[in-house]
Amino acid sequence: MTLTSRDVTVKHLSCHYLKNIEHGAEDITILKDGLAFLSTGLKYPGLPSFSDEPGKLYLLDLLHPRPSPLELQIEGKLDLSSFNPHGISVYINETDESVYLFVVNHPQHKSQVEIFRLDEEDTLVHLKTITHPLLHSVNDIVAVGVESFYATNDHAFPSDVLHFLTILLGLPWCDVVYYSPEEVKVAASGFLSANGINISPDKRYIYVSDIVDHEIDVLERQEDKELVYIKSVAVGSLCDNIEVDHRTGDLWMGCHPNPIKMYMFDPEDPPGSEVIQIKNIHSGQPVVSQKYVDDGHVIMASSVAAPYEGKLLVGSVFHKALCCDLK
């Protein structure tokens, strides 16, 4: 059985809860200037969700003396009553420094990608909704242009029954899809379940969390948009989203040490959280270490860990979010 569950030895940092975040911050990403984007309120089949409200996006300025998440206002034609945000990624247009936020959205449990532009401090303008048959079970994305991205499919088929069969049989049938207005194609395949995705600071490599396989895969970008497999790094946990430290290139993941507790949710025996870091991933000896471990009593089901200048934001699938000191 690949969905292993293990007991965890608690290892805490000095942290506080982020205000207003009560129903998960499944994905978080931080810009070089300290602005963090949070995707909150995910409703995902089979997993707990403790709010009937639609999902929301928040912004947090880590350079503020007392950072507090601010809800982003959304302008445009997007239906906000069914907004169900999941993985996110930011792209900055180098010519005019404009900030584009890409968001995986599951209205009525469908999969689509929304592209927004940050216009003022608290306003996102909705530019485009992208749907495509290859984008059938999107978990996370990494933007590589103002309208192009790589996306992970966490299911080999949109159907949950067929998906669980592939997991039970160990069939690595999930893929990563490249999307641009000119071309859409499978860029890499062979994942048991592709979850978080991100890019190296030099933009040469793409990292994918093959979550049920307990590993992070390293792929190299090609001229024709394909991704060539380089290697896998074992992480010993089910790692969800990946964030990359802009300065060091280290990978940080929010992981699920006992995922069965997530599906069989019991508040008396909650699912735990684990933050894992990979240093020197391109060297012959990457260093994998646990930076934070909780038995679920502080935070349940961590799904992302985003570092910024000695601070670490930890988000979760359906619970709270933490701001921790790394120093």
Q: Can you tell me the distance from the alpha carbon of 276 to that of 290, in angstroms, rounded to the nearest whole number?
A: 5
For Ca ion, which stretch binds (CB under 5 A), given 63-71, 81-89, 114-122, 286-294? 81-89
Least gap, CB of 262 to Ca ion (angstroms): 12
Instruction: Classify each residue of 235-263 as buried b or exposed e, where b means 16 or more C-beta atoms within 10 Å of its C-beta.
Output: bebbbbbbbbbeeebbbbbbbbbbbebbe
In sequence order, what are the residues at sequence separation of 6 or more whose Cβ sits closer than 8 angstroms to the Cβ of residue 292? 11, 12, 13, 273, 274, 275, 302, 305, 312, 314, 324
> Does 237 help bind Ca ion (rule: CB under 5 A)?
no
Residue 153 annotated as binding? no
Residue of minimal CB distance from Ca ion?
Answer: 210
Residue 202 annotated as binding? no
Residue 240 annotated as binding? yes
For Ca ion, which stretch binds (CB under 5 A), given 16-24, 107-115, 187-195, 256-264? 187-195
State yes or no: is 86 an active-site residue.
Answer: yes
Least gap, CB of 191 to Ca ion (angstroms): 6
Residue 88 annotated as binding? yes
For residue 28, give both structure tokens: 């978080």
> Does 210 help bind Ca ion (rule: CB under 5 A)?
yes
213 or 294: CB nearest Ca ion? 213
Among 114, 175, 213, 295, binds Ca ion (CB under 5 A): 213
Q: Which of 12, 16, 64, 86 is catalytic?
A: 86
SS3 content of the chain, % helix, strand, coil (to 5): 5, 50, 45
Among 48, 55, 85, 87, binds Ca ion (CB under 5 A): 87
Give the closest residue to 150 by CA, choosing from 182, 185, 111: 185
Residue 198 annotated as binding? no
DSSP conformational letter for 204: -
Binding mask 132-161 for Ca ion (x = CB under 5 A): -------xx---------------------
Question: 169: how many CB neighbours lie within 10 A of its CB?
Answer: 8
Q: Using CB under 5 A, which residues numbered 265 to 304 contact Ca ion? A: none
**Residues 6 and 256: beta-carbon distance below 8 Å:** no
**Residues 292 and 274: beta-carbon distance below 8 Å:** yes
Q: In a 3-state reduction of DSSP, which class is residue 213?
A: helix
152 or 322: CB nearest Ca ion? 152
In sequence order, what are the residues at sequence separation of 6 or more whose Cβ sits closer than 8 angstroms to the Cβ of residue 285? none
Residue 61 annotated as binding? no
241 or 258: CB nearest Ca ion? 241
Q: Using CB under 5 A, which residues numbered 7 to 66 contact Ca ion? A: 27
Residue 53 annotated as binding? no
> Does 195 help bind Ca ion (rule: CB under 5 A)?
yes
Report the binding-site residues for Ca(2+): 26-27, 88, 139-140, 195, 240-241
Which residues are marked as active site? 86
Residues within the interface to Ca ion (CB under 5 A): 27, 87, 139-140, 195, 210, 213, 240-241
